[in-house]
Each structure stands twice: as structure tokens, then as C-alpha cells.
């Protein structure tokens, strides 16, 4: 395989994976492929041009569908069948070469805030991708492809994530079923794979620097090489339920000194979001997802 010691993040959509991704990307030895999320590497993103989306779907996604007879990179919450070796090599090839097509600020342009990567440096970087929701079921395949990989399963208070999903059109029951299935799969992977680590959103926002030390230790990244931390500006909910950017424009990258992360990361977002969730939706979510929340250590 072309990729060596890659890093994968599993999480729920709206679960805080952008922060975890950027903490890892702050290390100069870590880079992205052509998109942050594995499925979007093959299908395109809303940030891609129409031509680029067409290229990804025709040249990347379609051959895998034709060769396997299924949509392997869909977000559906369902087990995946193993892929043939030649398809795995094709996926590895796309992921590897995507790093050279992502020389933009939000991806692989800078290894530090004012220093750009060289092509040689990018070639030796460890690849990082996210797999959200049902894509947690791709972990076994990637684990077989990359025995030296490291996997992080990011969990978060389900009521806070539920608010964000309900606001985007989900029903509380549908999200609860997804939450329960994804977290149960994370537990299974954590029990079976010594290189799979479950980490908590709440620990990440409460003490970002301590959390960074922890994940770097798991990923065997030398924190001495970390000069500053990169984070991206995204709309955050305040106590009144209003969303605003703390600075800049959406997804803009800012670099912080290691001891000033709390200027960007808010620790009250969970409470603000849960406050906006109706009592009815809380009850509907907890009737399905309450048990798995308790297993995670959350008070319900």
C-alpha cells in the first residue's frame, strides 16, 4: 500500500470531528487527501467545482460500484462486505495521490501558519481521513488494508448532536437509531482492535492541550514537532440559540499558540444545544439512545 500509518476518525456528523481533525492536522507529519471525509474523496463535496465532482464520481466512485456491485462509501448504517484486493489497491492509490490535489488553506497548503509543504514532505506525510455515521462500518476493511493504521472513535453527548441533526431535518428517533448503532460499532471495534481508541468530545473542549497530548501519544506523533495548533472557524451556538462565527469566515483556518486554544474552542456548546432541544425530542431520543448514553458515562 502507498499510504503508511494512516489515521482515521470515526464520529457522528455534527459531533465535533472538525476539531479533532484539525488538532491532528496541526502536526507537520499529517495531511488530508482531496477531502476531509473518505466518502467525499470519491464523491466530491459542496466545496468542489462541478467538473471536480463529476471527475470524482465518474473516475473514482463509479469504478468501485461497477467492480463490487455496491455503493461502498455511502453513509448508510449497515455492515460492508470485504472488497477484492485490486479494489483496495485502487482505493489506496486514490487516497494517496489526493494529497497532492489538496494544496488549499483548509487542507495541505501549510504545514505551519506561514510555511508551505513541499511535494516531498507531503509524500511522506501520514494520511488522515474522517468516516462519519455509517462509514464506521468501513473500519474493518481499512484495518485489513493498513495494519499500522490508528483509529479514533469520537463520541459526544447524544442530546447535543441530536439538536443539530433535528435542526437539519432528522427526526429524533431516526438520529437516535443512528447514534446507537454507530456507538455500539465503536465499542465493538475498540474491543477487537488494539489500535482503535474511543475519545470524548467533552474532554477535547474542556482541556484541548491535554487532549492533544493524549491523541498524539495514541497516534505516535511527536508533540515536540508541534509549533502551533490550527483550527477552523465554524458557526457556534450561544446560550440564546443563535449561531455566529467567533472570527473570520466559515472554515477559515487560524493558527494558535498551544496555550491559547480556549480563545477558539468553547466548552459550553453542549449545554447551549441541549437547551434548544424540545422536551418531546429529548424523550424520543432517550427512549432509543438513552442506554448507550449511559454506557458512555453521560447522565441522562
Instruction: Give me the CATH number covering residue 237.
Output: 3.40.50
pLDDT at 13 over 80: yes
Band the pLDDT of 84: cuts 50, 70, 90. very high
The total of structural domains in the chain comes to 1
Could you give the percent of the chain with pLDDT greater than 90? 81
Average pLDDT of 2-13?
97
What is the domain range of residue 270? 7-295
Rg of the chain over Cα atoms, rounded to whole angstroms, equals 19
Instruction: List the Cα angle 146/152/154 in 5-degree steps.
Output: 150
Average model confidence (pLDDT) across the chain: 93
pLDDT at 146: 97
Whole-number Cα distances in Å, 164 to 20, 144, 149, 158, 179: 18, 34, 31, 10, 13
Please say whether the beta carbons of 74 and 134 come within 8 A: yes
pLDDT at 48: 83
1 assigned to some structural domain: no
Residue pointed to by grid coordinates 486514490: 94
pLDDT at 158 over 90: yes
pLDDT at 240 over 80: no
123 assigned to some structural domain: yes
CA dihedral sign of residues 266, 272, 274, 276: negative
300 assigned to some structural domain: no
Distance CA 98, CA 20 (A): 21
Band the pLDDT of 281: cuts 50, 70, 90. very high
Which of 46, 39, 41 shows the shortest CA–CA distance to 31? 41
Band the pLDDT of 267: cuts 50, 70, 90. confident
The mean-pLDDT minimum among 45-49, 130-134, 275-279 falls in: 45-49
pLDDT at 239 over 90: no
pLDDT at 124: 96
101 assigned to some structural domain: yes
Condensed to tens digits (0 to 9), the pLDDT of residues 35-81 reads 899 999 999 988 788 888 998 999 999 999 998 888 999 888 999 98
Whole-number Cα distances in Å, 285 to 111, 158, 272, 297: 41, 8, 17, 16
pLDDT at 200: 98
Band the pLDDT of 225: cuts 50, 70, 90. very high
Q: What is the pTM of this model?
A: 0.95
pLDDT at 264 over 90: no
Distance CA 179, CA 300 (A): 15
pLDDT at 238 over 80: no
Condensed to tens digits (0 to 9), the pLDDT of residues 159-207 reads 999 999 999 999 999 999 999 999 999 999 999 999 999 999 999 999 9
Amino acid at each position: 500500500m502507498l499510504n503508511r500509518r494512516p489515521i482515521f476518525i470515526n464520529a457522528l456528523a455534527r459531533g465535533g470531528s472538525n476539531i479533532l481533525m484539525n488538532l491532528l492536522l496541526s502536526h507537520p507529519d499529517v495531511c488530508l487527501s482531496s477531502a476531509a471525509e473518505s466518502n467525499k474523496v470519491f464523491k466530491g463535496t459542496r466545496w468542489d467545482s462541478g467538473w471536480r465532482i463529476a471527475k470524482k464520481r465518474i473516475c473514482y466512485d463509479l469504478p468501485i460500484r461497477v467492480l463490487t456491485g455496491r455503493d461502498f462509501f455511502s453513509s448508510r448504517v449497515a455492515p460492508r462486505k470485504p472488497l477484492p484486493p485490486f479494489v483496495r489497491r485502487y482505493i489506496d492509490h486514490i487516497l494517496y495521490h489526493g494529497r497532492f490535489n489538496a494544496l488549499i488553506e483548509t487542507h495541505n497548503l501549510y504545514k505551519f501558519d506561514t510555511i508551505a509543504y513541499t511535494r516531498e514532505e507531503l509524500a511522506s506525510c501520514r494520511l488522515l481521513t474522517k468516516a462519519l455515521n455509517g462509514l464506521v462500518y468501513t473500519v474493518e476493511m481499512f484495518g485489513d488494508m493498513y495494519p499500522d493504521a490508528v483509529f479514533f472513535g469520537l463520541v459526544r453527548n447524544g442530546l447535543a448532536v441530536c439538536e443539530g441533526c433535528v435542526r437539519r431535518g432528522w427526526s429524533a428517533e431516526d438520529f437516535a437509531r443512528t447514534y446507537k448503532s454507530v456507538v455500539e460499532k465503536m465499542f465493538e471495534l475498540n474491543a477487537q482492535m488494539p489500535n482503535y481508541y474511543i475519545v470524548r468530545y467533552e474532554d477535547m473542549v474542556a482541556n484541548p492541550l491535554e487532549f492533544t497530548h493524549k491523541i498524539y501519544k495514541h497516534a505516535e506523533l511527536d508533540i515536540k514537532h508541534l509549533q502551533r495548533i490550527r483550527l477552523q472557524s465554524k458557526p457556534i451556538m450561544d446560550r440564546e440559540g443563535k449561531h455566529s462565527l467567533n472570527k473570520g469566515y466559515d472554515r477559515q483556518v487560524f493558527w494558535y499558540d498551544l496555550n491559547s486554544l480556549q480563545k477558539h474552542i468553547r466548552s459550553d456548546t453542549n449545554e447551549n444545544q441541549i437547551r434548544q432541544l424540545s422536551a418531546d425530542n429529548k424523550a424520543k431520543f432517550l427512549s432509543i439512545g438513552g442506554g448507550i448514553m449511559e454506557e458512555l458515562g453521560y447522565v441522562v
